[in-house]
Structure 1
Amino acid sequence: MHHPSRRAVVLAGAAAALAPTLDAFAATPAAGPAVQPYASYWYPDSLPPGSPGEGVTWHSLKSWRAATDADLAFNAASVPLAPRFTPTAANPTARAGQARIQSLVSFGPTASNPAQGGPTADYYALTHWAYIDELVFWGGSSGEGLILAPNAPVVDAAHRHGVPVLGNVFLPPAAYGGRLQWTRDLVQKDAFGHYPLAAQLVAVAAAYGFDGWFVNAETDGGNTALATDMLGFVAELKALGKAKGQRVTWYDSMTANGSVSWQGALNSRNQAFFRAADTMFLDFRWSPGTLAASGTKAGELGRDRYELWAGVDVESHGWDTPVDWDAIVPAGKPHTASYGFYRPEWTRSHLPAGRTPGDFHAADDRFWTGASLDPARPDAEASWRAPAAVVADRSTVSALPFATTFNTGHGLRWYDGGKVTSPAEWNHLGLQDRLPSRRWITRTEGEHPAVSFDFADAWRGGSSVLAAGTPGAPVTLDLYATRLPLSRRTVVELTHRADAQVRVELAVATAEPARPGAPQPYRHLTVGTLEAGSWTTTRLPLTGLSGTLRAIGIRLTAPGALAYRLGALAVHEEPQVPCVPSRLTVTPGPDGVRFTWRRAPGPVRHYELHRVLPDGTRRFLGGTCQRAYYVPGLVPEPGERSARFEVRTVGELYTASHPAVAVHTW
């Protein structure tokens, strides 16, 4: 992508036989060297001259093999891509079946990007998955590596919300260290005319559990022969990947004669690459005319115009970015194309030092929802046309059991049962819950309260939902659009607390709203009146309901100030206790410890690792959806000769198994 400022940021920082499934590694995860595992990155084949910089290790994709990948157990995602449905839109302007949104995000540097989260809450823990159709794990640089595999936490969180994740293949311009040899390496052919690195890319995505590749070929100096090889490579990548459920997005860069010439359009110079791929990202230089012509051209090629992503560069100015929204998503006629946000992690990066998780989510909510912070009440006159005002949200809450602790995937400490079991900051997107997609719809005849994720107190994980204000009238808060089957055994459990008296009712709907933007047709079930106090759990049978639960929320009535926290919500028919994992092993290293174990049989949401301290208390060390975990900086407690570690399986209802135990002698 052609802006130097963006590039400088980036630079700073067949196939079935090659593609083992994750089950192939289910028995015993490879322990590997006991060092910090990082997200994987490669060059296609040949490496740069000289030596890598500090903290960088050069790898060749051509020589990669799953069987010898020591970090695969840490990097392989485990959550399958969830199916999504589209409920009745939250407002009349949000459309289904038209424009979609791609998001290109740099979660960290190319090298030294931890495989499984880290010890800080300052992280781009995106939560507005409901508006995203495709996430690209953006990055790559000539001095570190050009091909990035997404780390497992990002993929697991995205898949839980039904969003595919693509790795990135970046061939940089020569001005930024790109070498045409790397392009030739990528598209090399074997004796049979096939593209071995296309097969390798498919094998990597299959082994790591993500959904395909974003191909960005920007190294100039090529010719028609090289473009022909690139076209064959992309076509084979798509064909091989399709058998594995993978997809390919092509970036508008190389043209049919081999030159790099950003078109900002679909036209005769790049249409062959569009036809070879599943979708194409149009460079930022599009205009209303070229975008309209691109949509027409897609139709002439027998393709959907919404398979074109019109680039919207928000890296520098976020919601203050000037965008000709009427060229992409006009209000009075069908949308012209889909669009792609380049670097929406601006919502975090533009904040000053000392930013908190709450600061980030406030900015991120404004970006995705709009200044009103309520997708049912979008600001039609705002210059920033927030996704919630344009694109219908989706949900994956369609099967029982369903539970959430409103955990955003980062926090200032870790809570379990309302108690702090680790005082340390953390981030790990793989532990993120399925979160409310419409944040935040409140309906009241009084003053709308402020609703947010709160990090000062939680029932489990790092956050809860806080509703605060002085509404002076009952407030209904939408939580989830659902498609949950109801039976005589269905129950709902709420875990909540209040700082002042509040009457709580459960709001449930078994039908859709009458029209987009209309309120949910809730009926209200009495939960009770909470006084100021500690966390409590209330259980409500839904015996009077039948059919399908289509929406769930709460109604709050406070005689004065409202300060209500919701810590957990569960809908299920019977409790479930997960099975115990086995063979917990401890492998110490110079700076930390690798833990590995065998997968527990039956359903698994994630695993949690604890250390039992000499006084018998348990300290939370971390959680992961994988069967391996690395903990840095573990040292003996005073006078401790051996340490006891425990790993437990956590199920969808957050019930935990008995532990698998390992004792390590220091």
Structure 2
Amino acid sequence: MTPHLSRRALLLASAAAAVAPAVLPGAASAATRAASGAPYAAYWYPDSFPAGTPGPGITWRSLKAWRAEDDADLAFNSATVPLARRFTPVPVNTTARAGQARIQSLVSFGPTAGNPSQGAATADHYALTHWSYLDELVFWGGSSGEGLILAPNAPVVDAAHRHGVPVLGSVFLPPVAYGGDLRWTRDMVQKDSFGRFPLAQRLVAVAAAYGFDGWFINAETGGGDAALAADMTGFLKELTALGRPKGLRVCWYDSMTVSGSVSWQGALNDRNKPFFQAADSLFVDFRWSRSTLAASGRTAEQLGRSRYELWAGVDVEANGWNRSVDWDAIIPVNTPDVVSLGFYRPEWTRNHLPAGRTPAQFHAADDRFWSGQSLDPSRPTPGDPWRAPALAVADRSTVDTLPFATVFNTGHGLRWYESGKVTSDAPWNHLGVQDRMPSRQWVVRTTGQRPTVAYDFSDAWHGGSSLLVGGTLTAPTTLDLYACRLPFTADTVVELVHRSESAGVTVELALATGEPSGPGQPHPYTNVPLATPGRGWTTTTVRLTGLSGTVRALGVRLTGTKGPVTWRLGSLAVRDKAAQNPSAPAGLRITAAAGGDLRFAWQPAPGAVRHYALHRVLPDGTRRFLGATCQRAHFVPGLRPEPGESAARFELRAVGELYTASTPVTVTHPW
């Protein structure tokens, strides 16, 4: 990929250890020793290693030597949430299109080495919530001094899958100037005695074992020849062919050409189209122009492929929405989209904020990036030079089966709440426990003054956040929350947990069983009055009497009568029978301990489980939340004895879709 200043700094820092490849005999034993400590997202070299020894906190591993049965951290790194099906609702504006351009994002969630498998004790994290505009996420990273092949960590995959978004691991063969060595490219495309590509088979095995959806291949190491390019083409063909029956996809980055040289084309043309034909899609380098993208689209169609299998790269790493982009070259307003859109490093929305940034500041910036300057996809700001994705690409939703529930948990927080009470005052992040987030953030329909709408981290019903609406309501105001396809019966109910921190607010459930009359038009809502919320959390259950069919949209309608309103929504659920507690997991055990660093494992609970929650029972009988995960294993660092405590007691519960919990299973750890 075209070098960038911030990326150069990263690569140069690791390049000193990567002068010439050599085998590192101690790598396997280092991995075994690490099994008792913190688990991290997996990364490898294709086969051989750099000269010297790895830096602190880095373990050099060979992909060729990897076996699932030998992977001590596999239970921590394997995603468990299946890829959800999606549907496309009627767009909330007249410019967003379905069936044309799509969006791919290349995101670095953390360093190559030392990226925690299951979140960390900080709320400062790229906890994206605008999944509805994404078609594919690339778990971007890799460096010459740490490893070149990255498997996405489980929280990212679980959150993406919950929203119907596939996730690709990355293979980064860096430029020579930044530590790359052509040996690693040759390692990747080596053949066995039958002419097959062992590392293609290994990449498919890794994706299947870890539960993600394919690979992004970026070969930028120069010095190759036509024979190496031919081997790379064969490698891609085999990788694609082996992966396709397993639902895997392969994206090729516009770098190596058919001559074996690295020459970024900014186009699909004769110099790179064999790689595109061998893969599922192509990320077009940032050197594109209006004419090269138009020609690329035509070339793809001449090959019998969709022009929307081309991702035109837009680098937002340094300037975010301030980046000047020739949008009409990709997603013109008055003619069909030319190709798809590939964002490079949209986590700028977090990274550009100053030290001490808060989750609320991050989400405000992320809303601006995805929804536009108005922060409302239904009311774009005229003349905004940033063509926000919500204004160009139709959103998608996965809310189509019962039961459905959300507590508006974004996957990070300043503390952890259960039933409105704080059960841990430690900051945290874990994207795997993120809810299905509203697909249109934030559509507000009113003839009066628009209130602010945001995720709030100062109070929650469950998890780390709630939805907060604030401002003076000069007219009734409807907030669109979820486009859905929820079939219902006479037994179906909608349940809300909400609270008002100001007097004089009337709340109604807004529910639609029909579609809007066209793009940009409101849903035909029926408004059902709710009990007036108090300053404490209020649970209201609404039976859908007199309605029939399918719930097409869910929202709330607020009317203020006594000045500014501060109202928050902590939970929204739709169910067709009484909530049932899930079955309990079994076999809870501590598999490794190093001081107060403990590894837990258990057998999964039978039936549907959303995630598992681990608590410590304190000597006074209260429970302290330690973590939640979708996996069947969890790591907890830094535990210490409480005063007078000879052994720590832990409880694990399965949590269902409606946030009901199973009976606990317990284990103790002597101090």
The two structures share one fold, judged by TM-score above 0.5: yes
Q: Indicate the residue corresponding to 1:291 in structure 2.
A: 293
Are 2:149 and 1:147 aligned?
yes
* Residue 638 (structure 1) aligns with: 643
Secondary structure of 1:210's partner? coil
Partner of 1:582: 586
Equivalent pair of 1:488/1:543 in contact (CA under 8 Å): yes
Aligned to 1:539: 541
Which AA in structure 1 matches 2:632?
R
- 8 Å CA contact retained: 1:451, 1:468: yes
Cα deviation for residue 526 of structure 1 reads: 1.1
Kindly provide the amino acid, as one letter, of the partner of residue 416 in structure 2. W
Q: For the residues of structure 1 that align with 2:571 and 2:201, how far apart are their CA atoms?
A: 44
8 Å contact from structure 1 (residues 41, 145) kept in 2: yes
Cα deviation 1:504-547 (Å, max 9, x = unaligned): 1101101110010001110111112224x100110011132111
Answer yes or no: is 1:504 the counterpart of 2:507: yes
Is the 8 Å Cα contact of residues 34 and 590 (structure 1) preserved in structure 2?
no
Does the alignment pair 1:256 with 2:258?
A: yes
Aligned pair 1:351/2:353, yes or no? yes
Alignment partner, residue 189 of structure 1: 191
Correspondence list, 1:432-451, <5 A = 432-451=434-453
Match status 1:99 vs 2:101: yes
| Alignment partners' CA distance in 2, 1:35 and 1:194 | 37
What is the match of residue 612 of structure 2? 607
User: Which runs of structure 2 are paired with 1:546-585 in the superposition (5 Å)?
Assistant: 546-559=548-561, 560-574=563-577, 575-585=579-589
CA–CA separation in structure 2 for the residues paired with 1:330 and 1:180: 40
Summarize deviations over 1:143-168 as a string: whole Å, max 9, x none. 00000000000000000000000000
2:525 is equivalent to residue 522 of structure 1 = yes
CA distance in 2, matches of 1:89, 1:480: 13
TM-score by length of 1: 0.96
Superposition pairs of residues 462-481 of structure 1, within 5 angstroms: 462-481=464-483
- Kindly indicate whether residue 656 of structure 2 is the aligned counterpart of residue 651 of structure 1: yes
* In 1: Cα distance, 2:639 partner to 2:171 partner: 36
Q: How far apart, CA to CA, are the structure 2 residues paired with 1:6 and 1:500?
A: 46
Aligned to 1:618: 623
| Structure 2 gap segments, 5+ residues each | 15-31
Task: Name the amino acid aligned to 1:582.
Answer: A
Give the Å deviation of 1:576. 2.0
Displacement after TM superposition at 1:591 (Å): 5.4
User: Following the alignment from structure 1 to structure 2, what is the Cα–Cα distance between the partners of residues 32 and 264?
Assistant: 42
Kept after mapping to 1: 8 A contact 2:596/2:640: no
**TM-align CA RMSD:** 1.1
1:80-91, aligned counterparts within 5 Å?
Answer: 80-91=82-93
CA distance in 1, matches of 2:348, 2:55: 27
Distance change >3 Å, CA 292–CA 41, structure 1 → 2: same
Take 1:590 and 1:167, find their aligned partners in 2: how far apart are those partners?
34
Structure 1 residue 6, shift from structure 2 partner: 4.2
- Which position in structure 2 is the counterpart of 1:112? 114
User: In the TM superposition, what whole-angstrom CA distance separates every residue of 1:525-573 from its partner, at most 9, and x where no partner exists?
Assistant: 1112224x10011001113211110001000111121110000000011
What secondary structure, in the 3-state scheme, does the structure 1 residue paired with 2:36 have? coil
Structure 2 match to 1:662:
667
In 2, Cα distance between the equivalents of 1:359 and 1:628?
Answer: 32
Is 2:208 the counterpart of 1:243? Answer: no
After TM superposition, give the deviation of residue 394 of structure 1 in Å.
0.2
Cα shift at 1:53: 0.5
Q: SS of 2:80's equivalent? A: coil
Secondary structure of the residue that 1:645 maps to in structure 2?
strand
For residues 409-449 of structure 1, give each alpha carbon's deviation from its aligned partner in whole angstroms, at most 9, with x where no partner exists: 00000000000000000000001000101111111121000
Aligned partner letter, 1:596: A
- The alpha-carbon distance between structure 1 residues 9 and 564, as it changes in their structure 2 partners (threshold 3 A), is farther
Distance of 2:367 and 2:55 partners within structure 1: 38
Q: Is the 8 A contact 1:487 1:543 kept in 2?
A: no
CA contact (8 A) 2:411 2:434 kept: yes
1:599, 1:660 → 2: CA distance?
A: 12
CA deviations over 1:1-50 (Å, ceiling 9, x no partner)? 1224143254258xxxxxxxxxxxxxxxx998320000000000011111
Aligned to 2:395: 393
Q: Deviations over 1:464-495 (max 9, x none)?
A: 00000002211100000000001111100000
Counterparts of 1:294 and 1:622 in 2: how far apart (Å)? 48
Shift of 1:618: 0.0
CA contact (8 A) 1:123 1:410 kept: yes
C-alpha distance 9-85 of structure 1, shift in aligned 2 (>3 A) = farther
Aligned to 2:431: 429
Other structure's SS at 1:529 match: coil
**Could you tell me which amino acid in structure 2 is paired with residue 583 of structure 1?**
G
The aligned residue for residue 122 of structure 1 is: 124
Q: State the secondary structure of the residue aligned to 1:657.
A: coil
CA distance in 2, matches of 1:159, 1:10: 30
What CA deviation, in whole Å up to 9, does each residue of 1:379-409 have, x standing for no partner?
A: 2411100000000000000000000000000
* d(CA) in 2 for partners of 1:460, 1:546: 31
- Aligned counterparts of 1:108 and 1:216: Cα–Cα separation in 2: 19
Q: Contact 1:31 / 1:594 at 8 angstroms: preserved in 2?
A: no
Q: Structure 1: how far apart are the matches of 2:533 and 2:609?
A: 33
Single out whichever of 377-386 and 194-203 deviates more from structure 2.
377-386
- Deviation readout 1:90-131 (Å, 9 max, x if unpaired): 100000001100000000000000000000000000110000
**Distance between the aligned counterparts of 1:595 and 1:332, measured in 2?**
56
Which of the residues 320, 336, 339 maps onto 1:337?
A: 339
Give the SS at the match of 2:240.
helix
Separation in structure 1 between the aligned mates of residue 49 and residue 625 of structure 2, nearest angstrom: 41
Which residue pairs with 2:307 in the alignment? 305
Per-residue deviation at 1:639?
1.4
Residues 253 and 596 (structure 1), Cα distance of their counterparts in 2 relative to 1, 3 Å cut: same
What is the alpha-carbon distance in structure 1 between the residues aligned to residue 148 and residue 636 of structure 2? 28
CA contact (8 A) 1:31 1:596 kept: no
Letter in 2 for 1:260: V
Aligned to 1:19: none
Aligned counterparts of 1:444 and 1:4: Cα–Cα separation in 2? 44
Q: Which residue of 2 aligns with 1:18?
A: none
From 159, 162, 172, the counterpart of 2:161: 159
Which amino acid counterpart does residue 474 of structure 2 have in structure 1?
G
Matched letter for residue 600 of structure 1: A
Contact 1:318 1:344 in 2 (8 A): yes
The aligned amino acid for 1:5 is: L
Matching residue's letter, 1:579: S
Provide the residue aligned with 1:72 in structure 2: 74
- 1:5 corresponds in structure 2 to 5
Q: Residue 319 of structure 1 aligns to a residue in which SS?
A: helix
Q: State the alpha-carbon separation in 2 of the partners of residues 299 and 349 from structure 1.
A: 38
**Following the alignment from structure 1 to structure 2, what is the Cα–Cα distance between the partners of residues 466 and 449?**
10
Amino acid at match of 1:115: S
Amino acid of the structure 2 residue aligned with 1:445 = T
The question of whether the paired residues in 1 share the 8 Å contact of 2:432 and 2:630 is answered with yes
1:59 corresponding residue in structure 2: 61
Report the CA distance between 1:621 and its aligned residue.
Answer: 0.1
> Partners in 2 of 1:636 and 1:259 — Cα distance?
60
Which residues of 2 match residues 18-29 of structure 1 at below 5 A? none
